Amino acid sequence: MGKSGQLALRLTIGCSATVLALAIGQAPAVAMAQSVRAKTAIQLPAQPLEQSLKDVARRTGVNILFSPALVSGRRASAIDGTMTAEDAVSRLIAGTNLKIIGDGRGGIVLRVRQMGEARAARGAATDPISAGAGQALAAQGDDTAGDIIVTATKSRQRLVDVPASITAETGAQLRRRGATQLQDIVATTPGLSNPGQGSGNGTNLVIRGVTTDRSASLKQSTVSVLFDDIPVDPATAGLEATNLRIVDVERIEVLRGPQGTLFGSGSLSGAVRYITNKPDATRISGSIEGSFAGTKSGADSQWGNAVLNLPLVADRVAVRAVGYAFDEGGWVDNIPFDRRNVNRNRTYGGRIGLLAQATDRLRVTLTGAYQHSRDYAGGESLYFQPAGSDKQVSTNRDSGDSSVKSTIANLGLTYDLGGVSLFSSSTYLHRKVEFLQDFGFYTDLLQLQFGLPALDNATPGRTYNSANIFMQELRVASNGQGPFRWTLGAFYLRSRTPRGGQTVTAPGLLPYLGTDNLIDVSAPGGQEEISGFGEATYSIADTLDLTAGLRVAKTSLDITSTSSGLLVTGSGTDVFVSHAPSDETSVNPRVSLLYRPTGQLSLYAQAARGYRVGGANLTAGLAGPGIPLTYKSDTLWNYEVGIKTSLMDGRLQINADVYYIDWSDLQISLDNNNINYTGNAGAARLYGFEAEVAAKPASWLDLGGSLALNDAALTQDTPNLVRPNGVVGVTAGQRLPASSRVQAAAYAQLNFRIGDDPAYVRASGQYVGPAYSDFASEGIRFGDYGTVDLRAGIVHDAVEITVFVRNLLDGDGKRSASPAFTLGPIFGSAQNAYRVRPRQIGLTGRIDF
């Protein structure tokens, strides 16, 4: 087609859009006056705002008048529910500079909002959501394309209106930068780190430096990971982390600071929320995506996913199915066993969701999800690599083969009563963990102790946990746009762990000692939690929000451990039994103040308390009276002030905050005669600064970056704490371990066209400051590294092709590290580091339909 033909086509399309926008308003006025007050079931995906407005007009029969110039280039978030046409349009334009006025005939007219008219933009985005379904408005697909809508307070709000420190990324943004797992979230989120031993199942999420160790061990994590508001790693489901894969998500939110009021235990320092895409009853859609990548001096990787959304009853019932598989090659060679690329990971899983608008007031969602993640090795390599080696190597006998399986079933109900909404979320979670290791150094030790001849020192060890967990949340919340908004709820959790413990056997000892049982600990038990919570917000003069909330929770633990084995009782036949019940009540308030001088600027201050539940020491009594049966919860108060902006119609966003944390009764991993246990000891203070900037100075350029500064130190002496380096005691003022004082990230993206096809080139980088494995900046040093990534992509019709390079400069940054381990005269393992993946080059193809 020639230039004149293209011009004629564009003029035709532009005129047609204008005519259609005006033609929508031609229905009879009487019918319109009736329709504008009628509620209709409306479910729309995230799409161009113009299309969403047309869809609302078609489904409700209401005149909607607008100039195409006002909505050109804007995207609307997904909406789902039973509502009036005015409610639907209010949600679609939430966070924009548009307002609704009447046309005198019962229709709707869109105009530009003037200064001071902030209520319409804000109020339309504050009606609550279903806890189980996790319904939320999606943010725009560009990196900076308007106000982002989040659900951190279990209601829909603009990010700029939430009085808390939050990082939110949409599914489109995550896909654009190639995020596939938790470590990719860590890389770009200020204040979030992972000093864990391994990037997959060994992940140990830390927010704002709230940690005393590189791994969570048997303790509950200080950061809660939630799948549509469902905690995937409750307290009694310990061991390893559930590294949820990022596939078909609407948004991921990282909430910094304690979230105990609304999200309960486990969110001591914050929460990471996966908000998944829900079934869409308006159209068939889906995608197929596949990737292949090669790693320098390592094995190849491949991964992919498929999504299918299928309406079953138009505008009423739909099903959505997702499947994915990851096979990520390793890059570390194991020297003793002559094995190459041992740190491989394989993950596969999927989910299926059913959404039914049963009546105009009742919405039902049913979700099932499964994921199995296996790390074939921990991924450690020698801290000091052999001279001249171009490959990372390990000399450990066996670093561990871990497997985490999670199965989730959820039923969500939402009932609209007009002034209030009722919500119910019923969840069953089955979590099974298995961790295999070779403890040959134990056999070596006993061989020397008993003067035995040379033995086959293969000593397989197995640590395991299997939990069946039921969770029920009920909530009632106000609807509407009034100055007073509130939420009241109750939560119940019952966890049963029929199988949990550890076994270590040494077949080589059997002929000489009459037993091969070195360790056999079995610890079945359960946890029960019941809590009530509430939060209310009152707005004054459209500029000041006062919020107060409270959660009261009672937690009961009842675990019985049975222990035997040469290394725990001194014989192969003696058995030690301990019963460790415990009950605790926790009270967690939150208060905040948010001042909004304009619709694009917010200043806030808040104070909040968080907690982490206590637990039982399975090894109590094995090393004498020094190990308590249980340890109690630890708590912290977080105080922060911040500023949030969404300027230039969302093209410039700046968020910053400063915080101070008072942490007491720290849960610390301790050691007594090589028997591990957990205790409460001391207190700490942490303070810091966080900032994020995202800018779109031109349609062809996206820029952004983040910075986090943190200082964490003890405020009490703890003379009986056994440190990783063997020194006993810590003193006030000493720095906490495993957390960097500085984190920074930045990106730049160029957007352009090749012919008629949109394309982009993106460069990003991150820096992680130094951290230490022990208190007082002692022990093994890690961190102090940077990485650079490149991505480029093009979209032709429904096909997207992306090429990428991760770790462009092929750095060997140490994400974590562990000291050498000795057991008396026996050498257990060398000094090790856990490094970032070497340079990886790959290709991704995607088809949307």
Contact 559, 529 (CB under 8 A): no
Q: Which of 150-154, 248-252, 644-648 has the lowest mean pLDDT?
A: 150-154
Q: How far is CA 773 from CA 198, 239, 485, 662, 763, in A?
A: 15, 20, 46, 22, 32
pLDDT at residue number 37: 60
pLDDT single digits (tens) 370-381: 999 999 998 999
pLDDT of residue 16: 35
pLDDT, tens only, 597-650: 988 899 999 999 999 888 887 766 665 566 778 888 999 999 999 999 988 877
Residue pLDDT, tens place only, 257-294: 999 888 888 889 999 999 999 999 988 999 999 999 99
What number is the average pLDDT over the span 773-786?
93
CB 92 within 8 A of CB 86: no
CA distance 506 to 517: 7
Question: Where is mean pLDDT largest: 472-476, 580-584, 723-727?
Answer: 472-476
Residue 561 confidence class, pLDDT cut points 50, 70, 90: confident
Q: What is the pLDDT of residues 288-301, one digit of tens each?
A: 999 999 999 999 99
Which pLDDT score is estimated for 411? Answer: 98
Range with the poorest average pLDDT among 54-63, 141-150, 778-787: 141-150
Residue 343, token pair as written in the block: 């740190």
Cβ–Cβ under 8 Å, residues 487 and 534: yes
> Which tens digit of pLDDT belongs to each residue from 720-745?
777 777 677 889 999 999 989 999 99
User: Which of 349, 347, 306, 305 minimizes the C-alpha distance to 326?
Assistant: 347
- Taking Cα atoms as reference points, which of 437, 412, 414, 413 lies closest to residue 427? 412
Query: Looking at the predicted structure, is the pLDDT value of residue 7 above 70?
Result: no
First CA to last CA distance, the chain: 26
pLDDT of residue 625: 63
What confidence tier does 691 reach under pLDDT thresholds 50, 70, 90?
very high
Residue 383, pLDDT above cutoff 90: yes
Q: Which is more confident, 96 or 4?
A: 96
Angle of helix 3-23 versus helix 49-60 axis, rounded to 10? 40
pLDDT value at residue 73? 65
Per residue in 100-130, pLDDT tens? 876 555 688 887 754 344 433 344 333 332 2
Q: Which residues pair with 365 in a beta bridge?
A: 355, 412
- 3-class state of residue 747 by DSSP: strand
Please check the confidence at residue 31 and state whether its pLDDT lies above 70. Answer: no
Q: What is the pLDDT of residue 165?
A: 93
- Residue 13: its pLDDT value, please? 33
Cβ atoms of 750 and 700 within 8 Å: the answer is yes
169 vs 156, residue with greater confidence = 169
324/288 Cα distance (integer angstroms) = 10
pLDDT in tens, 322-373: 999 999 999 999 998 889 999 999 999 999 999 999 998 999 999 999 999 9
Q: Domains plus CATH for the chain?
A: 223-848 (2.40.170.20)
Question: CA 804 to CA 806: how far, in whole Å?
Answer: 7
CA distance 102 to 725: 72
Return phi, psi of residue 523, to 5°.
Answer: -140, 70
Do residues 685 and 713 touch, judged by C-beta distance below 8 A? yes
- In the DSSP assignment, the letter for residue 41 is E
pLDDT for res 122 = 42
DSSP 58: H
CB 263 within 8 A of CB 272: no
Mean pLDDT of 6-15: 37
Mean pLDDT of 497-503: 89
Element (H, E) at 670: strand 667-672
Pairing of strands 223-227, 270-276: parallel
pLDDT tens digits, one per residue of 191-210 = 999 998 766 888 899 999 99
In this prediction, residue 151 carries a pLDDT of 78
Q: What is the mean pLDDT of the chain?
A: 85
Tell me the percentage of the chain whose pLDDT exceeds 70.
Answer: 87
pLDDT at 317: 96
The number of residues making up the chain comes to 849
Residues 417-437 have a mean pLDDT of 93
pLDDT in tens, 758-768: 999 999 999 99
Collect all residues with Cβ–Cβ distance below 8 Å to 724 and sequence separation of at least 6. 737, 773, 774, 779, 819
Query: How do residues 159-191 score in pLDDT, each as one tens digit?
Result: 888 899 999 999 989 999 999 999 999 999 999
The predicted pLDDT at position 90 comes to 86
Three-state DSSP class for residue 809: coil
Assess contact for 805 and 765: CB atoms under 8 A.
no
